Structure 1
């Protein structure tokens, strides 16, 4: 795959107009207030694993609507807590998997809470959290589930789950509640960006090749999954373009970035057709806080992989 998006010099200054709904703040304030009516009920049940250097806890907490959300919490076995904590969100279609899938942060001396994504976990790694909410007609996948209105849209529930995951991490006596970072790749990076803007408890953001940014350009620039799900939906529902964009504006990473002021580390791959580089730079260039971005010119959606993971650990070390 050759370069297909704007040249890097243009990407560095690409800052499209933000179309943030007038009631954006009120919408999310109301959403989180409704979630707060449900007791968090965070539980941490220690489980036995073959891992000798880590302690592992099966996590359960109440997310959007009081729905039960699963996760893992891992901490170093022979160190004194409380620990700074990385709350991580998963890429599209994946679930929390098994504890052995998540060794790095706890091995480096951090607590690590991995949130299962509701309704996902059958695409490439298993999950354990259902989404009990239905929707109107949708294209297969998650991108158009409830897309008729912001109130019904799937990612309203997921982003709220993410904010509640941060609260669940803080509820553990093993976690330093003043040192919480959020992280993720692709969909996970998009969720992390939203949660960093919505939760005042988040102190650091690490978002790699983030999905869910600059929807209007992404839908018309790439025909790769998952953005193509929206285009396919509109191919059938030909009269819904403005309605769909109106819903997506409440979930656009560009809008969250303009409100987020915590230190942030992002990454982008210039041959990425899943999350086109201009959509990532649109969020990065609007980001309101201290920021840095790692650019991988010849990578696709895999991004920097281990090289970027090392950058994350360096970023955490610098700030903690």
Structure 2
């Protein structure tokens, strides 16, 4: 099965599931807008928990879909209120099984390990990554149900795992993406990431150390989720950043993806920095850039 067929099957499976979207106003004060707790259904009937921020506006506003890093969670709406300050709505979810409100309860058929990326390693259909990407793709259906967000003005943002997810979702999106901000991105050049046991992919190296005969299956599975195989589909602008001393998501592993991006692109290198990359300084630059674009 090729990449297109695989993701079409995922899309078809999602289409058979009622969205069951619920929004609950949060009793917290958010500057420049309102905050809602958000839940919807995704693969396996799992309920995905997230956050919806809406600027104070009577007209549809642009929206930023923000993607979380590995094993990080939504703590409070203020984490994302900077998007409200420039007139953007925001959607963000807790990735399933990564310590937040979204669980990962559907049993795996092949491999089950405590760390999320160690689950379902032997087939793309069973992979944890299939579930995680599908949960994010379903946000575009959520968008259709939020009339105060403009689905023609969607921007993607993420750091680390979130940066890789932003690029993957960009390539698979059913709507035109206006731009993507991807910082110290993961999910690129996965055979090397696994061999070098860097960051979250160390769990796969750990598995192969004790199951070396499964290497071919694991690498074939991960090829379906390696963003370097999807970069040529991204024609909108991409602003990416890497750091020279990043040993979690080494910049050398992002270069194969960056070279294949088909649209306008810009790469910022933070010299002497580790996985924190440009940190708050970088986010401030991105907010200002998006404000100018809009």
Q: Which runs of 5+ in 2 are unaligned?
A: none
- Indicate the SS of the match to 2:269: strand
Q: Secondary structure of the equivalent of 2:249? A: coil
Q: For 1:40 and 1:262, how far apart are their aligned partners in 2?
A: 28
Cα RMSD (Å): 1.6
- 2:132 pairs with one of 131, 151, 158: 158
The structure 2 residue matched to 1:93, chosen from 71, 87, 93, is 71
Q: Report the CA distance between 1:173 and its aligned residue.
A: 1.8
Residues 150, 250 of structure 1: 8 Å contact kept: yes
Tell me how far apart the structure 2 counterparts of residues 52 and 261 of structure 1 sit (CA, whole Å).
Answer: 34
| Mapping of residues 128-147 of structure 1, within 5 Å | 128-135=101-108, 136-147=110-121
Residue 139 (structure 1) shift: 4.1
Aligned length: 292
Q: What SS does structure 2 have at the residue aligned with 1:239?
A: helix
Quick one: distance in 2 between partners of 1:27 and 1:204?
A: 25
Task: State the partner residue of 2:6.
Answer: 27
Corresponding residue for 1:7?
A: none
The residue that corresponds to 1:81 in the other structure is: 59
How far apart are the structure 1 equivalents of 2:167 and 2:42?
18
Match of 1:236? 210
1:291 to 243, 259, 265: 265
**Deviation of the 1:265 alpha carbon:** 1.1
Match of 2:245 in 1: 271
Relative CO higher for 1 or 2, CA cutoff 8 Å, sep ≥ 6?
1
Tell me the CA shift for residue 228 of structure 1.
1.1
Query: How far did 1:159 drift?
Result: 0.5
Q: TM-score, normalization: structure 1?
A: 0.86
Match of 2:24 among 42, 45, 57: 45
Q: Is the 8 A contact 1:83 1:111 kept in 2?
A: yes
CA distance in 2, matches of 1:297, 1:23: 38
Deviation, structure 1 residue 229: 0.9
**2:184 alignment counterpart:** 209
| 1:216-255 equivalent positions in 2, closer than 5 A | 216-221=191-196, 223-255=197-229
> What residue is the counterpart of 1:167 in the other structure?
141
Q: Distance in 2 between matches of 1:200 and 1:262?
A: 14
Find the aligned partners of 1:52 and 1:207 in 2 and give their Cα distance: 26
Identify the residue that residue 4 of structure 1 maps to in structure 2.
none
CA distance in 2, matches of 1:160, 1:209: 22
SS in 2 for 1:251: coil
Which structure 1 segments of 5+ residues have no match? 1-21, 122-126
The structure in which a higher percent of residues are helix is 2
CA distance in 2 between partners of 1:292 and 1:177 (Å):
24
Which residue, out of 160, 164, 184, partners 1:186?
A: 160
State the SS of the aligned residue for 2:131: helix
